[in-house]
Structure formats: C-alpha cells, structure tokens
C-alpha cells in the first residue's frame, strides 16, 4: 500500500455539499483523489469549482433530504456517473432553537427527518448496493457534541444526534462483517451557518469559547483529517467509533 490515506479511484457521496463542513469534506476528498457526488438542495456550484480547481471530478445531485424519497436516486446517480459509490458522508443536518416547552411537532419532525431518518435510509440503500456488488465501503455519520451532551434549547437536535451515534454502532454490528465500516465524526463548535445564531450572541459565544481547551472555534477544514482517515484504508479496522474533532471540548 503506497499511501494509506489515498482515496484515488474511490467515489464519495457527501450530503449537504454546498457549504460548511460538507463543502470542506468534498474539497478534502478531491485533494486525496476521490470523485465527489455532492448532494444539496441549493446549488453546489461553489464546491464544484473548488473541487475542479484541484483537478477533481464533481457531480451534483439536487435533493431535498427532508424526506427519504431521493435516497435511491442518489446512490444510483453515483454508480451511474462514476461506476462506484465507496464512501457515504451523512453530513446534511438542521438545528432549530426553541425552549423545549414551545417546540412545535412539525419542527420536531423536520429535524428528526433530516438528521436521523434520511441518514438511516440513505445508509441502508448505500449498504444494500455495495453488499450486492461484494464491495467494501465506508459510511461516516456527522454526529455532534450533542451526541454526548444535552445542549440548551435544541431538544430535537440532541435527540437526533444522540440517535445517530447509536445508529453508528448498531450499523457497525450488522455490516462490519459484510465489509462496510460505519464510523462517525463529532465536530465541536465550528464556524458555519449551523452556529451563526449562537455566535451572534456575544455572551453565549464567550461562554463556549472559554470551555474549549484549544481556545478557538473550529473551522470547516478542521474536520478534513478525520474525514479522510475514516474514508481511507488507514481506518480499515476502525468500526462503530465516533471521533471527536472538538478542540478538546469533551475533555473538560
Ligand atoms: P450548515 O452550514 O448549516 O450546513 C448544513 C448542510 O445541510 C447544508 O448544506 C444544508 O443545505 C444541508 N441541509 C439541511 N437541510 C437539508 C435538506 N432538507 N436537504 C438537503 N440538504 C439539507 O452547517 P454545518 O455546520 O456545515 O453542518 C454540517 C453537519 O455538521 C450537520 O449535520 C450539523 O448538525 C453538524 N454539526 C455542526 C456543528 C457546528 O458547530 N457547525 C457541530 C456539530 C455537528 P442548505 O444550505 O440548503 O440549508
């Protein structure tokens, strides 16, 4: 093996590819040689350009991941366009901030649909197609600090991300023997659209910063190393585990 971390010849499907962590993961994968299928409901043109500027290949699938309807088509598109579908990063996610006492059922369901239900059924379709072809493959679920902690005013988000870390273990137990590695990344507090609201609250932003041993918020590119590791041969015997990329947050 020349380079344990190389993704050359592999195809990665990344959901939520137009911005934030998803965009950073697409760019990192392209740098390491993978073809990228970016799934987003808005245009991923910016990501496509970043990938192509690196000499990589990017294919966009436009899909609203608030229902499972697009799941089959996404995996099919990867096989049809690039001939394989080796890596799946379940990154798309939403957060809705509200006192638990006031959370509306529709908002609760929307968060669970995007952050959990689609993650499961997309993983199922991905595993089914790879197992059918006798191919090894990697699933990476984007978890959160709220896979471990309760959080404040985000009960549906916490429920969904706590479920996703459990799902990561559950799917490992069923699919590891079939050549599918299922792992997770739990980002700490990162500068993306997901945290715009809390970063605009100076007091809350300071409170969070004080708790981060590394003394800074994360940048989207901070998740690149873990994402490459978990997608590459370097992690072939890592399964069912979630790596925190959090500047030390969980160590406190
Ligand atoms: P972000 O910038 O808000 O990105 C979220 C991505 O998910 C966007 O591409 C968004 O598309 C996509 N998305 C949301 N709903 C969708 C839907 N119905 N259909 C298709 N795509 C949808 O935030 P981010 O921080 O990069 O989030 C990426 C992942 O990391 C999420 O799962 C998030 O929970 C997780 N995470 C983030 C942090 C953090 O501090 N930022 C920490 C822990 C975990 P649109 O742009 O069209 O909305």
Task: Quick: pLDDT tens for 26-56.
Answer: 999 999 999 999 999 999 999 999 999 999 9
Q: What is the pLDDT of residues 49-79, one digit of tens each?
A: 999 999 999 999 999 999 999 999 999 999 9
* Alpha carbon distance 32, 34 (integer Å): 6
- Please report the DSSP string for the chain in residue order: ---TT--TT-EEEEESTTSHHHHHHHHHHHHTT-EEEEEESS--HHHHHHHHHTT--EEEEE--TTSSTTHHHHHHHHHHHHS---EEEE---------GGG--HHHHHHHHIIIIIHHHHHHHHHHHHHHHTT--EEEEEE--GGGTS--SS-HHHHHHHHHHHHHHHHHHHHHGGGTEEEEEEEE-SBSSGGGHHHHTSHHHHHHHHHH-TTSS-B-GGGGHHHHHHHHSGGGTT--S-EEEESTTGGG-
Most ligand 1 atoms within 8 A of CB, residue of 17, 18, 20 to mutate: 20
Could you give the residue numbers annotated as active site?
A: 157
Residue 227 domain flag: yes
Rounded percentage of the chain residues whose pLDDT exceeds 70: 99
Report pLDDT for 92: 98
Report pLDDT for 39: 98
- What predicted TM-score, i.e. pTM, was given to this entire model? 0.98
Range of the domain at 114: 2-245
Residue 112 domain flag: yes
Residue 250 domain flag: no
Residue 251 domain flag: no
* Alpha carbon distance 90, 21 (integer Å): 11
Q: pLDDT tier at 252 (50, 70, 90 boundaries)?
A: very high
- To the nearest 10 degrees (0 to 180), the angle between helices 20-31 and 45-53 is 20
Residue 110 domain flag: yes
Q: Report how far ligand 1's centroid is from the alpha carbon of 10 (Å).
A: 24
Report pLDDT for 235: 98
Average pLDDT estimate for 186-213? 94
Q: pLDDT tier at 1 (50, 70, 90 boundaries)?
A: low
Residue 26 domain flag: yes
Residue 2 has pLDDT above 90, yes or no: no
Q: Report how far ligand 1's centroid is from the alpha carbon of 177 (Å).
A: 31
Q: pLDDT tier at 179 (50, 70, 90 boundaries)?
A: very high
Rounded percentage of the chain residues whose pLDDT exceeds 90: 98
Report pLDDT for 89: 99
Give the position, in ligand 1's atom list, of the atom nearest the Cα of 41.
20
- Provide the domain count of the chain: 1
Residue 252 domain flag: no
Average pLDDT, the chain: 97
Any atom of ligand 1 within 6 Å of the Cβ of 66? yes
**CATH code of the domain containing 214:** 3.40.50.720
Q: What is the pLDDT of residues 187-198, one digit of tens each?
A: 999 999 999 989
Q: Report how far ligand 1's centroid is from the alpha carbon of 20 (Å).
A: 7
């Amino acid at each position: 093996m020349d380079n344990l971390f190389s993704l050359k010849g592999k195809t990665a499907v990344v959901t939520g590819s137009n911005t934030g962590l998803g965009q950073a993961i697409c760019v990192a994968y392209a740098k390491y040689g993978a073809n990228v299928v970016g799934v987003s409901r808005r245009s991923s043109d910016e990501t496509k350009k970043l990938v192509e500027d690196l000499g990589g290949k990017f294919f966009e699938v436009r899909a609203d991941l608030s229902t499972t309807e697009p799941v089959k088509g996404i995996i099919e598109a990867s096989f049809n366009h690039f001939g394989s579908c080796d890596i799946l990063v379940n990154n798309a996610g939403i957060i809705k901030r509200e006192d638990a006492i006031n959370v509306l059922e529709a908002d609760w369901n929307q968060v669970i649909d995007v952050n959990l239900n689609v993650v499961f059924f997309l993983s199922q379709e991905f595993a089914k197609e790879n197992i059918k072809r006798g191919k090894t493959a990697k699933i990476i679920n984007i978890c959160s600090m709220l896979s471990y902690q309760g959080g404040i005013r985000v009960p549906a988000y916490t429920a969904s991300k706590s479920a996703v870390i459990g799902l990561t273990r559950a799917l490992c137990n069923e699919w590891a023997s079939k050549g599918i590695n299922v792992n997770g990344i739990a980002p700490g507090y990162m500068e993306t659209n997901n945290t715009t609201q809390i970063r605009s609250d100076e007091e809350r932003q300071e409170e969070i910063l004080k708790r981060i041993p590394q003394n800074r918020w994360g940048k989207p590119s901070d998740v690149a190393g873990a994402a490459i590791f978990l997608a590459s041969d370097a992690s072939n015997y890592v399964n069912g585990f979630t790596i925190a990329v959090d500047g030390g947050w969980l160590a406190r």
